[in-house]
A and B are shown apart, each in its own frame.
Chain A
Amino acid sequence: MNTSKKKKKTYLPLDVKPTEQPDAPNDTGYFLVSFATPLTPGETVTLEVLYILTHSLEPFPSEIAQSESQLVYYRDSAVILSPYHIKQQTTFFKTPSARVESFTNVEPANRAGKEIKYGPYEDRAPYSYAPVNVHFENNSPFAVVEELVREIEISHWGSLQITENYRLTHGGARHKGVFSRVDYQSRRSISGSSSFNALLAVLPPKVNSVYYRDDIGNISTSHLRTGFKKDLLDIENTREKLDSSKPGSMTNECSLWLNHDKLIVCSIPGVQVGDIFFYRIELCIIELEFEPRYPLFGGWRATFIIGYRVPLEDYLFEAPDGRRYLNFTFGCPLVETIVNKLTIKVVLPEGSKDPSAVLPFTVNQDLQVKYSYLDIVGRTVVVLQKDNVVPTHNVPFQVYYTFKPIYMLAEPFMLVSAFFFVFVASLAYVHIDLNIVK
């Protein structure tokens, strides 16, 4: 669970720490929020709390046929579980569609379209609890990455090779019985509405050599496209007066843009807040729209690998103390998915020492050794592991290490000397007479 706080109009992020309470009922978890300035008596403050729950929708019925729509339960409390006295509370539940099978009635409660309103409730004691069970239709893709291993290999020769191993599953209601291709291809909206057959990954700008494959070969159903995110960053500050939109309009004419109007809120690997863009086209980001080999119905799995390469200069920097550091985005590049188990392996170049990782949240850390082409002593691998990762975790992290540039020449030197010895050996062979009889 991730918690952050925002204030109306001017958002002021506040410190959030998990904490323990001795008299906590039924394993309740606590988070301690520290205000920026102490609250004086009589003063009010508005807090906005965002927390993301994973795996909290339970499909019911748990098995559905191809043509059925997916219904889920959501269980919560109409009144927030709080150690404080609640003076007044109103709770809204927003469902993805207007189809709601049932919801627990805790007076006053009513439903209007996609919204269920509970409350207002007045004067509730601490730890008061009013269980609510909402049963509604939810056909959004339940894409769950069970395990993701991202390997980031740093080459000081100028590139960063990223390889991502996915184990994807459809976490919704299990598919039952027949899969009919006729129904699926002719009546997509009714038949197979709970399934999904494509996912979107946001790749860093300047990405190249993208591949998408699995254990048995290349997956031929993928499209790499450049999309233009005008909503993403405030472009009024950029120097629009320059005739900078030409490449953009050209890509538009070739219909290479996508998601002109769709707002995707998530951070983009390689783009930081505060980056200055002089040309609109620089804002273009690369999207990989990829389809697994088959559509995923409830309970079906797919494993695949995405690999790509990005230029090194955008991600590797030298710290003031002479150490190098990699600045890369944590999390999963897939849009709107959760990752049950995420492992990030940063493969440092051969010969680097004293690795240390800096992250805004706690992860399990480990060190490994990996052998790649022409390695003798092996490369140090910093392994970062975190469970239950959501798109909010896509924040930059740093890995610091020391590296002597002379090590870069080790591998070319090995190759050169190997060829040298081959030629010397053949030279010697031609000129030496090994016959016993003269």
Chain B
Amino acid sequence: MGAKKASPDLLNSSFSFKSLKLKTKQQELLLRVSILGLVYVLAFIARLFSVLRYESMIHEFDPYFNYRTTLFLTEKGFYEFWNWFDSESWYPLGRIIGGTLYPGLMVTAALIYWTLRFLRFFVHIREVCVLTAPFFASNTTIVAYFFGKEIWDTGAGLVAAALIAICPGYISRSVAGSYDNEAVAIFALLLTFYLFVKAVKTGSLSWALGSAFGYFYMVSAWGGYVFIINLVPLYVLVLLITGRYSMRLYVAYNCMYILGMLLAMQIRFVGFQHVQSGEHMGAMGVFLLMQVFYFLDWVKYQLNDTKLFQTFLRITVTSAILVGGIALGVGTASGYISPWTGRFYSLLDPTYAKDHIPIIASVSEHQPTAWSSFMFDYHILLFLFPAGLYFCFKRLSDATIFIVMYGLTSLYFAGVMVRLILVATPAVCLISAIAVSATVKNLTSLLRTKQKVPQTGSTKGVGSSKSSSKVTLDQSQPFQKNGAIALLVGVFYLLSRYAIHCTWVTSEAYSSPSIVLAARGAHGNRIIFDDYREAYYWLRQNTPTDAKVMSWWDYGYQITAMGNRTVIVDNNTWNNTHIATVGRAMSSYEDEAYDIMRSLDVNYVLVVFGGVTGYSSDDINKFLWMVRIGGGVYPVIKEPDYLVNGEFRVDKGASPKMLNCLMYKLCYYRFGELVTEYGKPTGYDRARGVEIGNKDIKLEHLEEAYTTSNWIVRIYRVKPPTNRL
């Protein structure tokens, strides 16, 4: 209060006209704040392409689940949400929603929603959900600025903010409508890292506390928190090994680990994994190692005899490793510590999933990354990154070691899985920003020092790299100046290309909602295929409310969210056997499939079929994965039965099992009567470019209930069993 009372005269003094002229420092502040403000706005509006092109809607698959749960949360309140048993999915098993999801995203959106309502902005929850991702992307740019400032300088921070604002690797997961965990998780990830680096740098408990809370938010939002809980200990370990151990590090890590762990345990889905799961054991090991280090340090301080200390060191380290090893061994053997999960293995070994877990390998975003997608998502950052690494190594500090480790590890994971490009993006942007900022700064200071050589010399210490340029200053001045100008022009050209590329990628590749398909017509007009929503809305309006719908798991979330009907399996692939049962039904003959469907109380079967429109990601093209996943649990399903000479075909040359399995029948039922393309025979499949092999399909136990206008979604009704007379 005292400070507030003093404010009027402070205000008065600062309002005199003389002080209206800004000092250099104030100018710099104004410039910085306005640049950051612009970047903040830019990051937001660059993600609105999809809203402008299509509409304010939720995209893809998983976001529909998130939207549905958020809707539930805002309608029923937090307590109900936490205890929600969802009987609409995984019939007949059901799913305990509160215990099997990361609630961070939903709670964040609900809080934003409630705040807006409190402020008398009566928005719809859908709008909040759609705009959550762009909003958090904007916040990420601010964190990136501070992070860049922490590891290098404010210039690098500003460049990092600008780079990350439009980097396609990040935009791909954070456009408006992409309401997925990653939307807030990248913000939380970067915030945790920033606060931790800050804590290590200052040794302050408050920053470490902040980082623990950042970690808690990350844990509540995304399963990718495992990356933090492994990277941070690894970083600490590297610091220990390189002899950079300090009291600051001790305070930062211990506080962050202990508090972060305790907080993370509050998330039901994570629970006691921090002390029980193999993936989290590294962090605990480093925590114990740190105590040993501290203890040794203390002993060393107490003992002045180096020889005695050497012996003590040897004994302590050996016994510590021994005890640790035994504890780990006993824990693993007794089952207290769970072994690494398949997903974790598949991260470390790219070929693991292919051989062991077809359900992970079947997802396209889990495939190893192609070089082209690196180029697509990073563009110039790809070669600015090594340059940035060079600068980091040149000015090694605790902070730069961290960013280097973050960059290198995440880039490895990005190579293993396409979707993890997202995790690497902030690191790549930061390191590239260092390269850009350091280069530009060096070049401009080169230009400036020459102009002002008599007056200032070089009071602005930029970096060690500059000192070398000073030495050669008088030798080749004109050439150097021109060279610097040329290089600067080159840098700005590259950056402008980057901006153009990012805008193009965002508008062309990453802004389609995938639930509404758009194509160009013969006259250049836009044709919209809205078949998914047509089918889901048909289900919602014209089927009994307790109807059970069987489909491949990709469409489960959408059917429950938009169709409001019970599904057998959905995108939360927690029960492999159940999915395999559906896969088996789809790949069996109709009468066998009928028994399976009867046992699961299925009323409707939904298949996605692109033969009429040429939509290639349909169920026929996914069919081999159904066979593989089904065959993984039920050996009666054998992949070779569906192939001819190792080739997957649907035309006349296809295998007889293929031509008569349920999926084939449901997709191509009465398709043989249809002419899809002028000059082609009837039953010409445009997605695969062949004439189908079985045009005379009779259904015995199912009947066509609905087919959408472009045939993309076909729904069949399962008939009740006939009377036995």
Contacts and interface: CB of A to CB of B under 8 A. Distances in A.
Interface of A: 177-182, 185, 214-221, 293-294, 299-303, 371-376, 427-428, 431-434
B250 interface: no
B706 A373 contact: no
B534 interface: yes
Nearest to A217: B57
Contacts of A434: 3
A179 B703 CA distance: 9
10 contacts: A180-B707, A218-B55, A220-B528, A220-B530, A293-B534, A301-B542, A303-B541, A371-B120, A373-B121, A431-B14
B530 A221 contact: yes
A302 B711 CA distance: 20
Contacts of A376: 120
A311 to B, nearest CB: 24
Nearest to B516: A220
A431 B122 contact: no
A182 B674 contact: yes
A373 B541 contact: no
Contacts of B540: 215-216
Given A221-B530, A293-B534, A293-B537, A373 B670 contact: no
Given A372-B122, A375-B120, A217 B55 contact: yes
Interface stretch (B4-12, B131-139, B304-312): B4-12
A432 B8 CA distance: 10
A293 B533 contact: yes
Nearest to A218: B55
Contacts of A214: 537
B641 to A, nearest CB: 30
A431 B670 contact: no
A179 B711 CA distance: 13
Interface of A is mostly: loop
B537 A216 contact: yes
Given A178-B705, A371-B122, A302 B541 contact: yes
Nearest to A429: B7
Contact of B533 (A182, A216, A372): A216
A354 to B, nearest CB: 25
A180 B674 CA distance: 12
Contacts of A299: 542
Contacts of A302: 537, 541
Contacts of A300: 541-542
A15 B594 CA distance: 66
B11 A427 contact: yes
Nearest to B58: A217
Contacts of B703: 177-178
B673 interface: yes
A216 B705 contact: no
A293 B538 contact: yes
A375 B122 CA distance: 9
Interface in B94-133: 120-122
B541 A301 contact: yes
Closest 7 A/B residue pairs (Cβ) = A181-B707, A293-B534, A301-B541, A218-B55, A216-B562, A220-B530, A220-B528
Nearest to B518: A220
B704 interface: yes
B11 A374 contact: no
Given A181-B709, A294-B708, 13 more contacts: A179-B707, A180-B707, A181-B708, A185-B709, A215-B537, A217-B55, A218-B57, A219-B530, A294-B534, A373-B121, A375-B122, A428-B4, A434-B3
Best-surrounded residue of A221, A303, A431, A432 (most CB of chain B within 10 A): A431
Interface string B414-455: 000000000000000000000000000000000000000000
B628 to A, nearest CB: 31
B536 interface: yes
A300 B705 CA distance: 12
Nearest to A371: B122
A218 B3 CA distance: 54
Contacts of A427: 11
Contacts of A182: 670, 673-674
Given A220-B530, A302-B541, A431 B11 contact: yes
A391 B653 CA distance: 60
Contacts of A293: 530, 533-534, 537-538
Interface in B521-544: 528, 530, 533-534, 536-538, 540-542
